[in-house]
């Protein structure tokens, strides 16, 4: 997830039986109270029951890889392994490896895993976090949104009841909360809309940069306040690993889910073309080069799997720590996880 960072996570001492001690002495304690960790464990148990009832196979894939994500909004953490050349990259998502399993005939699969992203630390970000990712054969983005809604309602049911989810196109969300047409308005108009909403940015942004800024700071925080909100049909330039839909303006078969103004899931009707995916990766690398960012090696295993053929499917990544925080009505991510980076 690549939404903006906020203030640094504050430590929260264990509230079940801990003595009052100084901050330094309490730094060893969990950032979440024990009752929150019990709720978290119960949510994981319900999640596994949900997928077992639907015969979706739980899998595990490597945390380390010789290839890495090229998305300019996501930075990987790296390490070296004795006796092996080059760097290895800690997984920012299990997507690439899971698609290799799909190409090998795995059928419907899901994974509960730790993922890692550099330069993500704040109120709703931690460089290490738990992701739930799953793929459903024969689903498109619309049908997967329905399953995501059902799963989220199941996991939150003991804590709160959810109204039926709203579905907004990206364009409608931008018009409603930022007053812009993301497909037609000029870059200057997007910049003015940001300024009008008190958003200041001194960096040189391209069009998608302004759209990301407006979505992260003006639009997203307004979404999912009364009921869950899916934002769908993202601009084609933000397709990532999603296929494009027919028609004009070109849009991606991509959605995000917002709850209480927080992005909790990102899903696609998956792109199955190896040639198109390679072209997108190379465009990412050109943008990284222009920004003087690290240019990681492409994941050739993923591209080979796409070349061999993956079944028609849709997939989604759900930020489990954020969902736990929403369930607990927490004010920050650290209140729903045992330890955040500040006391890891």
pLDDT band at 5 (very low <50, low <70, confident <90, very high): very low
pTM (2 decimals)? 0.90
324 touches 43 (CB < 8 A): yes
Task: Compute CA distances 42 → 51, 111, 265, 298, 330, whole Å.
Answer: 15, 17, 20, 38, 17
Spell 89-115 as b/e; 16+ CB within 10 A means b. bbbbbbbbbbbbbbbeebebbbbbbeb
**Chain segment 121-134, per-residue pLDDT in tens:** 999 999 999 999 99
**Chain segment 300-314, per-residue pLDDT in tens:** 999 999 999 999 999
**Chain segment 234-247, per-residue pLDDT in tens:** 999 999 999 999 99
Angstrom distance (rounded) from CA 110 to CA 98:
8
Neighbours of 43 (CB within 10 A): 20
pLDDT band at 26 (very low <50, low <70, confident <90, very high): confident
pLDDT band at 201 (very low <50, low <70, confident <90, very high): confident
Neighbours of 251 (CB within 10 A): 23
The reply to whether CATH 1.20.1250.20 applies to domain 34-165+227-343 is: no
Whether the predicted pLDDT of 20 surpasses 90? no
Q: In the structure encoding, which two tokens stand for residue 128, read together?
A: 């290490």
Whether the predicted pLDDT of 2 surpasses 60? no
For 293-299, the CB contacts below 8 A with 24+ separation are: 293/72, 293/75, 294/75, 296/67, 296/68, 296/69, 296/70, 296/76, 296/89, 297/66, 297/67, 297/68, 297/86, 298/67, 298/70, 299/65, 299/66, 299/67, 299/68, 299/96
Q: Mean of the pLDDT values across residues 70-96?
A: 95
Domains of the chain by residue range: 34-165+227-343
pLDDT band at 143 (very low <50, low <70, confident <90, very high): very high
């Amino acid at each position: 997830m690549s939404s903006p960072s906020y203030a640094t996570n504050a430590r929260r001492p264990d509230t079940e039986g801990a003595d009052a001690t100084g901050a330094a002495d309490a730094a060893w304690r969990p950032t979440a109270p024990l009752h929150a960790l019990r709720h978290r464990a119960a949510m994981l148990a319900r999640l596994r029951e949900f997928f077992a009832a639907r015969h979706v196979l739980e899998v595990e894939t490597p945390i380390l890889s010789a290839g890495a994500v090229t998305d300019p909004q996501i930075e990987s953490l790296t390490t070296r392994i004795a006796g092996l050349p080059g760097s290895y990259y800690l997984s920012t998502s299990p997507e690439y490896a899971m698609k290799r399993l799909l190409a090998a005939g795995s059928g419907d699969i899901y994974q509960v895993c730790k993922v890692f992203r550099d330069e993500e630390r704040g109120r709703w970000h931690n460089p290490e976090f738990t992701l739930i990712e799953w793929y459903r054969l024969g689903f498109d983005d619309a049908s997967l949104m329905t399953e995501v809604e059902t799963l989220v309602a199941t996991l939150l049911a003991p804590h709160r009841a959810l109204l039926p989810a709203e579905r907004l196109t990206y364009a409608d969300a931008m018009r409603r909360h930022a007053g812009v047409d993301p497909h037609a308005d000029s870059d200057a108009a997007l910049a003015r809309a940001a300024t009008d909403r008190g958003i200041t940015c001194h960096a040189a942004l391209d069009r998608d940069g302004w759209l990301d800024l407006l979505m992260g700071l003006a639009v997203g925080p307004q979404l999912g306040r009364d009921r869950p909100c899916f934002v769908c049909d993202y601009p084609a330039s933000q397709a990532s690993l999603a296929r494009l839909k027919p028609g004009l303006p070109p849009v991606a078969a991509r959605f995000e889910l917002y709850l209480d103004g927080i992005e909790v899931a990102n899903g696609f009707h998956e792109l199955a073309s190896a040639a198109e995916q390679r072209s997108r990766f190379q465009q990412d690398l050109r943008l990284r080069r222009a920004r003087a960012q690290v240019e990681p090696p492409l994941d050739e295993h993923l591209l080979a799997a796409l070349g061999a053929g993956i079944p028609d499917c849709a997939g989604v990544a759900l930020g489990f720590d954020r969902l736990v925080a929403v369930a607990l009505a927490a004010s920050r991510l650290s209140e729903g996880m045992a330890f955040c980076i500040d006391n890891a």
